[in-house]
Structure 1
């Protein structure tokens, strides 16, 4: 019994951390495509970095004290809130560093001071996303009545599929529309090599899959049971990723970031770079339905 309880504790701990990571990506991705934050972080003096760190700790501590990203706490305790705050900031910084490394804004040649500044300033929305993950995106009640299950089973497959594709398209546009016309897309496309583009594609796919099917958000079990033409976890994620890429290409063309006169490789590189926030937005859109 004790061993089983210990295993359940570890499983709950992993689920909480995983949910926090996905919440960090949902909140942090838009700011990661802002070059002004890169510059502020790279030029920030140590005193400013410490101040940003301290302010972030206070804000996240208050969020964790009132709600927290874990499900285990039943009452307000300062020590638990402090531990959760340290863990949330650590998760946020790791997510921030991973994305900056993936986008080649941090490389082995980047100085420690510049890397630290970028990670801390870009880590703010990631850390807030971790702290708010359970409050805004936590798993809702998954108990459904028999009549509800029967009604769900009677939904037309085509209707369910179109609903998911529409939600993906809307979510992709909401998140990526403000990023599409910016210079950051072109800058990143010019600096990221083809192997890193493949890594970017893989990260987009994995993060999208994790948000919808592994993080425990928004009736995850119900989504797994939903009936549709492509609605199996892998096939749904694949189709949604393609829809997000199509939305990215259309947004880039709308803002004339790419034109019909540009080579196909430029279209591909720009679309894949914008496809990361668009895919995460598409995952958020599917959570909303």
Structure 2
């Protein structure tokens, strides 16, 4: 009896992590869009309710064939309940993101704060709704138990370079669309060193959740690869360093930072851009 309960809790945790990962994978670019913040300042309560209604309707439609749970809903009631849970996850991740980047302030007023959160919750809710469709796949050894006994023949260098290349390309896909914008210096201007450290820790945690805890699939195959950093902690740290370097490269290419700029500006901008680059890199690593 206890074993069943423990398994149920683990399944619930995996589903929750998958929903959070999907929200960040899809919603990160919208998080770095100042127009979303500003529009939220002037969103009326009826419009907020309309946005929430659209987000919920989208989740209902997506939960029919997608959703964030590994087990598909079997009834209309389950679809409605899980859509409400998905909307709650979207609101939670939107709140967490805006708070982390210091984009919401209590002195702005409750209407402006709610407007920003609810406006951003729309793309985040779509990410929750398509979490399974994004990257969920079945382990080869789950599909064919005989493959579980097959040895992994990949050379360590090949596995390492494959993961590093996937992290690099994923970071470029996300980072190149954000690096040229004014959001990076705007966010940086209000952040203290302690907040930058918190962003770094959050980036590492999100990368770990997306690749190793969200249970998007192929977990056994990933853990059995023979790369030099093929351990959850070491791979997460190595991928984050790649994301930081990629973000710094994108900032320099798009003239967000220049040679001769203060070192603290290089560091601050890179850490801020490193958050979405890390999310993109995690998606890239899952895709290979």
TM, length-normalised to structure 1: 0.94
1:61 aligns with 2:98: no
Which residue does 2:135 correspond to in 1?
137
> Residues 34-76 of structure 1: CA distance to partner in whole angstroms, max 9, x if unpaired?
000001111111111111111111111111133332233463x
Which residue does 1:83 correspond to in 2?
81
Which residue does 1:93 correspond to in 2?
91
Which residue does 1:182 correspond to in 2?
181
Alpha-carbon deviation of 1:8?
2.3
Which deviates further from its counterpart, 132-141 or 186-195?
132-141
Give the whole-Å Cα distance in 1 for the aligned partners of 2:279 and 2:238. 13
Give the whole-Å Cα distance in 2 for the aligned partners of 1:72 and 1:147. 24
Give the whole-Å Cα distance in 2 for the aligned partners of 1:160 and 1:43. 50
Note the 1:267-278 alignment, pairs <5 A. 267-278=266-277
Contact kept, 8 Å, 1:201 with 1:276, in 2: the verdict is yes
Task: Describe the SS at the equivalent of 2:95.
Answer: helix
Task: Describe the SS at the equivalent of 2:55.
Answer: helix
Alpha-carbon deviation of 1:139?
4.0
Alpha-carbon deviation of 1:5?
2.8
Give the whole-Å Cα distance in 2 for the aligned partners of 1:145 and 1:5. 23
Give the whole-Å Cα distance in 1 for the aligned partners of 2:54 and 2:85. 16
Which residue does 1:50 correspond to in 2?
49
CA RMSD, 1 decimal: 1.6
Task: Describe the SS at the equivalent of 2:106.
Answer: coil
Alpha-carbon deviation of 1:10?
2.4
Give the whole-Å Cα distance in 1 for the aligned partners of 2:236 and 2:132. 23
Note the 1:206-245 alignment, pairs <5 A. 206-245=205-244
> Residues 189-228 of structure 1: CA distance to partner in whole angstroms, max 9, x if unpaired?
1111110000000000000011011110131221111111
> Residues 13-54 of structure 1: CA distance to partner in whole angstroms, max 9, x if unpaired?
221111111111111111100000001111111111111111
Give the whole-Å Cα distance in 2 for the aligned partners of 1:129 and 1:270. 26
> Residues 66-109 of structure 1: CA distance to partner in whole angstroms, max 9, x if unpaired?
3332233463x221111001100000000000000000011332
Contact kept, 8 Å, 1:139 with 1:220, in 2: the verdict is no
Count of aligned positions: 286
Give the whole-Å Cα distance in 2 for the aligned partners of 1:145 and 1:156. 23
Which residue does 1:106 correspond to in 2?
104
Which residue does 1:280 correspond to in 2?
279
Which residue does 1:41 correspond to in 2?
40
Q: Which runs of 5+ in 2 are unaligned?
A: none
Q: Which runs of 5+ in 1 are unaligned?
A: none
Contact kept, 8 Å, 1:20 with 1:133, in 2: the verdict is yes
In structure 2, relative to structure 1, the CA distance for the partners of 1:68 and 1:147 (3 Å cut) is closer
Give the whole-Å Cα distance in 2 for the aligned partners of 1:7 and 1:218. 20
Give the whole-Å Cα distance in 1 for the aligned partners of 2:72 and 2:239. 35
Give the whole-Å Cα distance in 2 for the aligned partners of 1:47 and 1:139. 40
In structure 2, relative to structure 1, the CA distance for the partners of 1:96 and 1:147 (3 Å cut) is closer
